[in-house]
Each structure stands twice: as C-alpha cells, then as structure tokens.
Structure 1
Amino acid sequence: MALTARVRTRDGWAVSHAVVTLTDAHGVQVLRAEADEEGQVRDLTGLAPGAYTVIVTAVGYAPVAASAIVTASGYAEVGVVTLARQGGEELPPPGPWTVDPAHSTVGAVAQHLGISSVRGRFTDFAAVIEVAPDDVVHSRVDAVIRADSIDTGNRTRDEHLRSEDFLFVDKYPEITYRSHALTPSGTDRWTVHGELTMRGLVRPVDLFLSYLGTGADPWGGTRAAFRATAELRREDFAMNYNQIVQAGIAAIGTTLRVELDVQAVRGTELPAA
C-alpha cells in the first residue's frame, strides 16, 4: 500500500521541499508526506479505496491540486506534478532582456554512427530579447555566437569542427540569429521565426520556445527562463563533410538538434556575479 508522486519544476528540476497532502471526499486530511532530495514522494500509509484530492505545496511555488484514485489494493500513483514559480509573471514584462551567458547554455547534438549522440556547446555568445509592450508576438531576439567557441570535450574533434569542413571559423567567425515573428502554440509556448547566418549562408530557422517563468535573483534583478529547440540540416549550411563507415551508415548524422537553456536578466546590463 503506497502513494507515489514526483514533483518537478516546469523545466524538469526536482522540488525537494515539496509537501503532498491527501484529503478525502469530506475535505479531511488523511495523509501528509514530504518529497526527498530527488523530488520523489512515497508514503506507505494504508488508504481506503476511493477518490481523493491531492494538494502539492512548496515554498516559492504556486500550489497545485489534482484528483487521485486509491485502488482496492490501497495504492495511488499520482505521477509527475509540475509546480510553477510563485510571484512570477505569466509573461515576461515588456522591455529589453539580456541573456546571461554564465547561466545559459547553447548546445547542439549530432548523431554518431547511427547509434549514439555527440553533444557540444558554444561557450562564447551574447543575446538580447526585446519583449514587445503591445503584444508578445511582436517581440524579437538577436543573438551572436563565436563559432570558434565550440566545445565537445575532445580537442581533435573541436579543431576539425572549426575547420573548412564544418564551421570554417577563420572565414566566418560569427554565427548570428535574428527573429522576425512569433506564433503562439500554447499559453507559455511559441514558435520563433527567424534567420540563422552560419558560414556566410542565411537560412530560415524556427525555434520551438517554452517560457519557464520569471522571478527575482539574489542581486536585486529580475530573471526570466526559457528553453528552446531547433533542428538544422547540415547541407543547408554547406557542411557536407562525412564518412560512410559501412552499409551506407554515415559517421555523422545529416541533422543537428539545437538545445538552448536560457536565463535572461531584465535590462541591458548583467550583474557582476
């Protein structure tokens, strides 16, 4: 007999201080359990079969209520409960936001040999987000990435990626992205339409963006968090190098998955820390 749940933030982190309360049909509390360091809740209290209300709370987060059914065996599986930061905004306040590179990641994933993935990231980049005051769909983002800052954890591979076969950093030192429109795809999700310039070639690229929330930081500022993904075809940017190792299997996949985890600070200046 047990109740189980997993408590997460909107970007997938465990909420280790969450509290789960179970009330019966009369509103009487019958169980109270705390999450562990991994955000897991497991309580072995015996419960009578029936319908219950689950209330999940945590300091700094808005409470969430959900229904749960306890089976004849006394078992109830709540599943993943997602908490949103309390005191944040439903949308980022309008105005300029500066991406904090120390707390953001610009990554890319490529398939290797058809069976695994190789991950890399760019360590030198800057971006500004302008949230429109009239309608968020008129917002825009401008980003610049130093192409030679690619880091996959392997020096030989990184040197090859900087060569003419791939990024050609000697001739094209910067990668830029400029958006021109947003299309809503949910209450906190958008498709960002823009143009990516890489190796001197300009191609339309859509970013699939999720807004994770806004809150105060320890330095007296306001931060907003975002996650975005995109898929690029290497041939669109004249990166045609490859090796066929066997039976038509390419050493490197033809597509790249871009993964962005971004913190942006309201205003045009970043904190010292």
Structure 2
Amino acid sequence: MGLFNRRSATATLPATGATAAPVDPALAALTGDYAIDPAHSSIGFTVRHAMVTNVRGSFADHEGVLKLNGAEPAASSASIDVRIDSIDTGIADRDAHLRSGDFFDTAQFPLMAFRSTGAEQLGGDRYRVTGDLTIKDVTRPLAIDLEFNGAATDVYGNERVGFEGSAEILRSEWGLTWNAALETGGVMVSDKVKLTFDISAIKSAA
C-alpha cells in the first residue's frame, strides 16, 4: 500500500554529534524499511470535555513507513499519513462535527501527516522522534516520545517491530480553535490534546 500523500519524502535523520547511549541489543539488529500495519496499530487522542471528563478517539485509516537503522537510531526516520475522515469517538454526531469546518474541515484537508526530522535515544528502550506535523494547512514541529516494545516473527513469517508512545499538542496552534463557553465557567473542549501511538510494523521485502 502506498502513502496517501507522496508530496513529502521521508527525511533521513541527522546524527546529533552527541555521545550515543548504548543501543538496545534487540533494536540494534533491526535495519530496513518497515510498513505500519494498520490492522494491528492505533493512532488515537484524548481531550478534556466540559472541564470534567475525557473524550477518547482514534483514526482507523492510517499508513506509514519506518526506516530503521538499529545500530544508529539517529539515522532512522518515520513518515505517517492519517485519513481524518476515519475519526471515531464512538458518537456519530460528534464525529461529523469534528469532520466539519468547525474543526478539521476534511472536505478541504483530508489528511494529517507527520514527517520526522530527527531522533535520539533517551536511554534503554526509550526514544524521542522529532518532526513536522501537518493538520489542515498548518505545519508545526512535534516531538513524540516512544518506547521500543520489541521484535518478533509472526505466524505468517513477517518480521515485526512494535513501538508505543505519546505527545501533547495545543490544537489551537494548528487552527483548531472552535469552542463553546459553559454556563458554569470554562469551555467545552480543552486546547490541550494528548496523541497516542501504538505501532506494529512489518519489514518490507528487499
């Protein structure tokens, strides 16, 4: 399956020049291109609603490529595209509102995209990937903290790797500014949004 958006090439991550931490031996052996498996991955979000509770949602339709250099993590890269129409919060009316011009305006801006520009090992199996996140017509930097969950060969003979992580953004910085005031004070939707990533990727054939 090809990427939804081929305008941006996957960037190669530059080495920082800093002294590298010991690489996780399980990750050190992994080198090559890995395609994200959407059937076994999730990209989700959590946002405070009405000041007192959290709404959780996910995007079912996404794809991407990880270019891993296990011996030198800083030389790895990531490219992910998300079809925003696939948003699901469990309530159809709310999902329709999120697709509308008040929020994502998916008719005009159907994709959310992330392109990495750097990576660093934080210690052990923890990593930080930095890059550019594009929502609507706004591109801003984003840092994602990830944990390497391991590698395995599945029952079909596919070589798989797993990562999970999270990041926080202020949605207003990407032009998602709709809100409503509450009679008791405060607003309907928090500006802060937590993004979550649970990624399973399959090594591509040489």
TM over 0.5: yes
- TM norm structure 1: 0.64
Number of residue pairs aligned between Structure 1 and Structure 2: 182
Write out aligned runs for 1:173-192 (5 A).
Answer: 173-192=110-129
Match of 1:214 among 151, 156, 165: 151
Give the 3 Å change call, closer, same or farther, for CA 154–194 of structure 1 in structure 2.
Answer: same
> Which structure would you say has the larger Rg?
1
1:168-227 deviation per Cα after TM superposition (whole angstroms, max 9, x unaligned):
101101111000101211111111100001011000011011101001101011111100
Write out aligned runs for 1:74-223 (5 A).
Answer: 89-91=26-28, 93-132=30-69, 135-223=72-160
Match of 1:259 among 178, 196, 200: 196
CA distance in 2, matches of 1:91, 1:164: 45
Would you say the 8 A contact 1:91–1:213 is kept in 2?
no
CA distance in 2, matches of 1:268, 1:128: 13
**SS at the partner of 1:219?**
coil
Structure with the bigger percentage of helix:
2
- Gaps in structure 2 of 5+ consecutive residues: 1-24
Aligned counterpart, 1:50: none
Would you say the 8 A contact 1:92–1:131 is kept in 2?
no
Would you say the 8 A contact 2:40–2:199 is kept in 1?
yes
Q: Which amino acid aligns with 1:267?
A: S
- TM norm structure 2: 0.84
Aligned counterpart, 1:65: none
Are 1:249 and 2:186 counterparts?
Answer: yes
CA distance in 2, matches of 1:92, 1:163: 45
Aligned-residue identity in percent? 30
**SS at the partner of 1:89?**
helix
CA distance in 1, matches of 2:89, 2:122: 32
Q: Which amino acid aligns with 2:181?
A: I
Q: Aligned-residue CA RMSD in angstroms?
A: 1.6
**SS at the partner of 1:208?**
strand
- Gaps in structure 1 of 5+ consecutive residues: 1-87
Give the 3 Å change call, closer, same or farther, for CA 133–212 of structure 1 in structure 2.
Answer: closer
Deviation at 1:146, TM superposition (A): 0.5
Structure with the bigger percentage of strand:
1
